[in-house]
Structure 1
Amino acid sequence: MRLISISNSYSFQSRQSRVLASVLVTIPILCFWALLLTYVANVPWIDDIDAFLSFIIGYIDAPTLSEKLDWLIRPNNEHRILIGKLITLTFYKLTGEVSYRWLVFAAFAFLLGLLGLFYRVFRSTNLPLLAFVPVSFLLLQPQYYLTSLWAITALQHQVVIMMAFTAIYLLASDTQSRFGVALAVQILTSLSMSNGLFAWVAGAVVLALQRQWIRLAVWLVVGAGTIVFYFHDFPDGQGNETSVSFFLKYPYLVFLGFFTFTGGLFDFFSKVDILWRSILPTLAGFAIILTMLVLLWRMNEPRLGHRMGTYESSNRATKALWKRRYFFTGCYTFLMVNAVIIAFLRPRFGYGVMLISNYMIYPAVLVSLIYLNVLSERQSEFTLNRWVGLGLLLSLFIWANWYVVQLPKIAFRKHQILTYAFNQKHNKTGLGPSWGSPFVALAERTMNETIRRGIYEYPETYYTPYESRLLSSNQLKPDTSLHIRVLGGGYSYIAETDYNALAQPIDNAAIVIQSPERTYLFPSEIPYSFTNYYLNRPVRTIQGEIINPTVAPGRYRVGILSPSDEKNPIRFSNQVVTVP
C-alpha cells in the first residue's frame, strides 16, 4: 500500500493552522473539566456507598494484610473494582477523607489518558494536528454524563476502556518486553470491572494476527486463570439467567439492540417514544458496523492466509501502519464483545437501556476509533481532506448538541442528589436504597460510621441554613393561601403549587413532606426544564416527584421549601399524602 503524506501541505501546516488546531483540541478538555468542577457533588449515589465507604471502613479495620487484600479485590455486585478502590485508598491515605468529587476527577484523568493514547496512535500517521480535532470533540462531550459524573461508573467504564486499550496498544507493538507489561496491565484491568475481561479476547485476536503463538498460549492460560479467579466467589442472584429466556422470546430485540447501542451517539430525539427514538441510532449503528467491517477486511485481508512476514517490511511507515492496524482490530474486538454482552443482558430491563447515558461512552469511543482508522488507511490527499472536513463538522455538531441537550439534566441531577442527601442524612433512605430493603441498614451504618470517624461529611447546600427549622417545623400551621395539587400514587406522587403561586422567582427549591416523626425533601425540576433553563424565565412554581419507595410508610402533610422567599422559606398546605 502506498502511503501519501500531506505533511508539506501549506494549508495544513502553517503556523496559524497549528495554533488553531491546538486551541480546538484543548476546548473540549477545558469545557469537560469545567463541567466536572461545576456539577459534581460530594455525595454518594447507590453503589457508591458500599463500593467506597464500606470498603474503606472494612480495609481500615481489617487486622491482617490478607484481609486487607480481600477488601481490595472482593466483588461489588457484578464487578470487582480494584483500581477504584486503590484510588479511594490513596486519597484516604493522603487526606484522611473520601471525597466523591476527587474520585470523579481521578476518573477524568483516565479519560484524558484515553485521549492521549488516541493521539499517540494518530501521531504515527504524520498527519497535521487539525486532523485530530474531531477525536477530542467526539470523546469529551456530556452525552454519557451518568458515567463521567457518577463515581462508581466513572471508575469502572472510563478506567477500564483506557487500560484495556493500553494493553492492546502494547500488544500491537509486537515486542517481547511490551508483552509482559501488557499482560500485567490486562490482569489489573480484569480486576477493575467485568468488562475488562473482554480484552483477553481482543488481545488473543491481536496475537493471532501477529502469529505470535507462544505469546498467545501464555496470554490464554493467564487469561483463563484470571477469569476463573474473577468469578470464583461471586455472589449469587445476579439475574443474568433471565436474559436467556428473554432472548428466546424476543430475539429480534437483542439483534436490533446491538445496533441501537452501537449507534447511540446519534440519539438526538430522547424525548420521543422509545420506538421512534431508537430509529436513528439503529440506522446509524448499521452504518457504523458496516464501516467497521469494511475497515477490518481492508486491514487484515493481506495477513489472512499468508505466511508470517509476507507483508512485514523494514520500512518505518509500513511498520507503524501495521501497528495501528493491530491496535484498531483489537479495540474493535473489545468494543464488539462489550456491545454483544450488553445487547444480550440488558434489554430485559426495557429497550431504553440501550440508550442510557451510563453506556454511551462506548459509541463515542467506537466512532472516534473509526475516524482515526479511516485517516490511517487514507489513499489520497483529497480523501483525507474530505474525511477531516466531515469529521470536523460532525464532531462539532455532536459536541454542541450534547452540551445543549444535557446541561439542564446535569444541573438538575446535582440539585437532585444534594436534595436526596437530606433524606439519607435524617431518614436512612434517599441516596438509593428503598425503605425496607436490606441495603437500608448497610447504608445507614456506613454513612453514620464514616461521618463519626471524619472520613466523610455531607456538603453544605441550599437547604443547609434551614435544616434545623425543617426538622422542627411540626409546629408550623398550614398556610391556607398555599395550594398544592397532588397526582399519582403507587411508585410516586407529583406535587405542584399553583401557577405563579410564589411571590419571588425560585432557583433551588423543594417539595417538603412531613409526619410527626420524619421530614423529606424532593427537588423541584421546574427551573431545570429545557426552556426555563436557557431562557432564564422567572419560575414561581414548585413541582416535585415524591418517590414513595424511599419514604417510610405514614401520613404526611405537603409543603414547600423556597429559600428565595426570605420571609417564609418553609410553608405547609392543607394537602396530605399517604405512603403505604
Structure 2
Amino acid sequence: MSSSKRYIIFAITLVPIVVFYGFSISYSINVPWFDDIENIPYFLAQYLDAPSWYGKVAALLRPNNEHRVLSARLIVYLQYLFTHTINFRILNLIGNLTVLGIFLVISRAYLKHKGILYGLIPAAFFIFNLQFYSMTFMTIMSLQYQLIIFEVFLSFYLLTKPSKSAFLGAILVALVGTYSMGNGVMGWPAGALFLLYLGQWNRLIVWIITGALAIVGYFSGYAFVQGNDEGFIYFFNHPFKVIIGFFAFTGGILDWFPRITFEKRMLLPVIGGITIVSFFIYYVLGALSISTRWQRIVPAFARKHYKQNTYFQQLSPQWAAFWVSCFVYLFINSALVVFFRTRFDYQLVLWATYKIYPGTLMAMTCLLSLQIFRWRLHSLLVIVFIGISLVSWASSYWHFVPQVTQDRKQRLAFALNQQRNGVGLGAEKKSAFAEFVVKTFERSKSHGFYQFPQPLISSQESRLEALFRDSTQLKTGVNVKTEMLPYGLEVYNDSFEFVNSKEEGVFVTLTSPTHFYVFSAEPLLHRSRTQKGFRINCPKGVIENDTYQVGLWVVQKNGNQLWNTQQSVTFP
C-alpha cells in the first residue's frame, strides 16, 4: 500500500477520535454528579484525614454500592498530588482516554496479525461513538466502565507474551482491575480460559490461585445488594425475554432509532447481537480447530473448512486465545447486566451507559471478519462495515448532541441549587444523602481542593435572586402553563422564542420569601438553534414546601432577560 493511501486511512480513522475528544472536552463541566461525590471529593477528604496508612488504604478500597473503585481513586489522588486540587473535567478526560486505550489494544492485536489498515476505519467509528454519552460525561462512570475494559484487555494482551515479567504484569493489571470495578472480577475466568486453551498449566494454577484470593479479598466487607436472587426468579419466569434482551444488549450499537417504540427499536440491536454471537461461535470453532490439544472437539467437516481458511492456518494460538478471552469477558458482563437488571426495567438492555460493551464487540467482530474473509468477501465486507459504522456513529451524534447539551445546562442549574439550597446534585431534601453531600463539599472547601466554578451559568447568577425579588427588574407578558404532577411541577410554553445552544437557553426560576430555585428548561425543537417553546419538570424532591412565583431567566449571548410569568404555584 502506498504512503498516500496510508495517510488517507489514518486521517479518516482519526475523524471519529478527534470529534469524540473535541466534543467531550467542550461539553464536560467541573461539577460532580451523584456517585461522583462519594468516590471523588469524599474519598479524597477521607484519605487526607486518615491518621494511619491503614485508614488511607481503607479509603482507597472502601466499596461504593456494588463496586470498589481503586483505579479511579488512585487517579484522583495523583491529580491532587500534582495540582493540590481536583478538577472533574480533567478527570473526565482521563477516564475517556481509556476508550483510546481499548482501541489501541485491539488495533495492535489486529495489526500484528497482518490486519489491513482499512479495518481500523469502521472499528474507530464503532468505538468512538456517542451512544454511551451518559458515561462519557459522568466522571466516575468514565473512570469505571471503559477503564476496566481497557485494564482487562491489557492484561490479556500481556498474557500473549512468553516472558515471566509479562505474565507478572498481566496478574498485576488484573489485580488492579479487580478492585477497580466489580466487572473486573470476570477477567479471571476469561483469563483462565486463555491459559487453559494454551495448555500453560503452571501459569493457569498461579492465575487461578491469585484470582481466587483477589475475589475473596474483593468481597471481604462487601455490602451485597439485596434482591439479586430475584434475577433468577425473573429469568425462570421470562427466559425468552431475557435471552432476546441479551442479543439486544450485545448488538446495542445498532440502536439507531432511540425515539421510536421500544419493541421496534430493539429489532436492529437483536439482529446485531445474533450476528456477533454467531460470529463468536464460528471464531471459537476455528480457534479450537488449530489446536492439537482441542481440535478433536470440532466436527471433522468443520475442521476441513477451517483448514482451507488462510487466516486460521496462519493464526498463532496466543492471539486466538486473546480474541476469544476478550469476547468472553464482554459476553459475561453483558449477560450479568441483562440477567440482574432487566427485572427493574427491561429497557436497560439499551441503556446508554452500557453501550461501550456492544461498541467494542462490534469493532472486534468487524476487525476479525475482515481478516478471516480477506480473500473472499473482503471488498463487500469493508463496504458493509464502513457503512454500518458510519450510520451508527452519525445517528449517535444526531440523536444525542441535543441531550448532552440539555444535560449539561441541567447539571449546572442543579449545582446552582446545591450552592443556594444545600440540595441539587442527586440527593433529595432532608435526606441522609443530602446532608452527606453538604458535609462533603464543606470538607472539600476546608481542604482547599474543590469549590464550584464561578460563574456556573452566567455572571448574572450572583445577583439573580435579588433581581427576581425586585419586580421592577422583570419583564411581563410571557404566559406559561403549570401543572403539579406526582413527581414535580411541569411548566410549559409553546410560543416563547429564544436561542438554544451549549451556553444559551431558558431557565425556570421559583421564588418564595425564603427560597429560590433555578431549573433548565428543555427546548421543544431538539436540533434547532432558534427555538419556539419549552417544557420542564421541576422535581419535588429538591423543592421545599412553599408558595413560589414562577419566573424565566433567559440566558442569551446578546443579553439576558428576566421575566415574571405572573404565575404562582404551591408545593404542599
Q: C-alpha distance in 1, partners of 2:285/2:11?
A: 36
Equivalent residue in structure 1 for 2:536, among 537, 544, 551? 544
Does the 8 Å contact 2:444/2:450 carry over to 1? yes
The aligned amino acid for 1:424 is Q
Partner SS state of residue 80, structure 1: coil
Is residue 2:439 matched to residue 1:445?
yes
Partner of residue 261, structure 1: 249
Is residue 2:458 matched to residue 1:463?
yes
The aligned amino acid for 1:230 is Y
Partner of residue 424, structure 2: 430
Is residue 2:346 matched to residue 1:346?
no
Partner of residue 484, structure 1: 480
Partner of residue 80, structure 2: 92
Q: C-alpha distance in 1, partners of 2:125/2:431?
A: 42
Provide closer, same or farther for how the CA distance between residues 382 and 548 of structure 1 changes in structure 2, counting only shifts above 3 A. Answer: same
The aligned amino acid for 1:337 is I
Is residue 2:511 matched to residue 1:510?
no
Does the 8 Å contact 1:471/1:519 carry over to 2? no
Partner SS state of residue 67, structure 1: helix
Report deviation, 1:424. Answer: 1.1
Is residue 2:22 matched to residue 1:22?
no
Q: C-alpha distance in 2, partners of 1:392/1:480?
A: 54
Is residue 2:216 matched to residue 1:206?
no
Consecutive unaligned residues of structure 1, counting only runs of 5 or more, are 1-12
Partner of residue 113, structure 2: 125
Is residue 2:92 matched to residue 1:104?
yes
Does the 8 Å contact 2:254/2:268 carry over to 1? yes
Does the 8 Å contact 1:492/1:546 carry over to 2? yes
Q: C-alpha distance in 2, partners of 1:277/1:488?
A: 31
Report deviation, 1:385. Answer: 2.8
- Please, which moves more after superposition, 567-576 or 556-565? 567-576
Provide closer, same or farther for how the CA distance between residues 489 and 73 of structure 1 changes in structure 2, counting only shifts above 3 A. Answer: same
Report deviation, 1:471. Answer: 5.2
Q: How does 1:312-323 map to 2 (within 5 A)?
A: 321-323=316-318
- Please, which moves more after superposition, 289-298 or 453-462? 453-462
Provide closer, same or farther for how the CA distance between residues 479 and 177 of structure 1 changes in structure 2, counting only shifts above 3 A. Answer: closer
- Please, which moves more after superposition, 236-245 or 347-356? 236-245
Partner of residue 335, structure 1: 330
Equivalenced residues, count: 556
Provide closer, same or farther for how the CA distance between residues 559 and 209 of structure 1 changes in structure 2, counting only shifts above 3 A. Answer: same
Report deviation, 1:446. Answer: 0.8
Report deviation, 1:564. Answer: 3.2
Report deviation, 1:567. Answer: 8.0
Is residue 2:386 matched to residue 1:392?
yes
The aligned amino acid for 2:491 is A
Report deviation, 1:568. Answer: 7.4
Is residue 2:526 matched to residue 1:530?
yes
Q: C-alpha distance in 1, partners of 2:443/2:114?
A: 55
Partner of residue 369, structure 1: 364
Partner SS state of residue 519, structure 2: strand
The aligned amino acid for 1:386 is L
Q: C-alpha distance in 2, partners of 1:145/1:263?
A: 17
Report deviation, 1:242. Answer: 3.2
Partner of residue 559, structure 1: 551
Report deviation, 1:276. Answer: 2.1
Does the 8 Å contact 2:31/2:412 carry over to 1? yes
Provide closer, same or farther for how the CA distance between residues 251 and 14 of structure 1 changes in structure 2, counting only shifts above 3 A. Answer: same
Tell me the TM-score normalized by structure 2: 0.91
The aligned amino acid for 1:573 is T
- Please, which moves more after superposition, 389-398 or 317-326? 317-326
Q: C-alpha distance in 1, partners of 2:237/2:2?
A: 60
Q: C-alpha distance in 2, partners of 1:568/1:102?
A: 30
Is residue 2:347 matched to residue 1:326?
no
Partner of residue 421, structure 1: 415
Provide closer, same or farther for how the CA distance between residues 567 and 107 of structure 1 changes in structure 2, counting only shifts above 3 A. Answer: closer
Partner of residue 60, structure 1: 48
Equivalent residue in structure 1 for 2:270, among 282, 286, 298? 282
Partner of residue 193, structure 1: 181
Does the 8 Å contact 1:510/1:522 carry over to 2? yes
Equivalent residue in structure 2 for 1:229, among 217, 232, 236? 217
Consecutive unaligned residues of structure 2, counting only runs of 5 or more, are 297-305
Report deviation, 1:472. Answer: 6.2
Q: Percent identity?
A: 28
- Please, which moves more after superposition, 155-164 or 106-115? 106-115
Partner SS state of residue 22, structure 1: helix
Provide closer, same or farther for how the CA distance between residues 107 and 238 of structure 1 changes in structure 2, counting only shifts above 3 A. Answer: farther
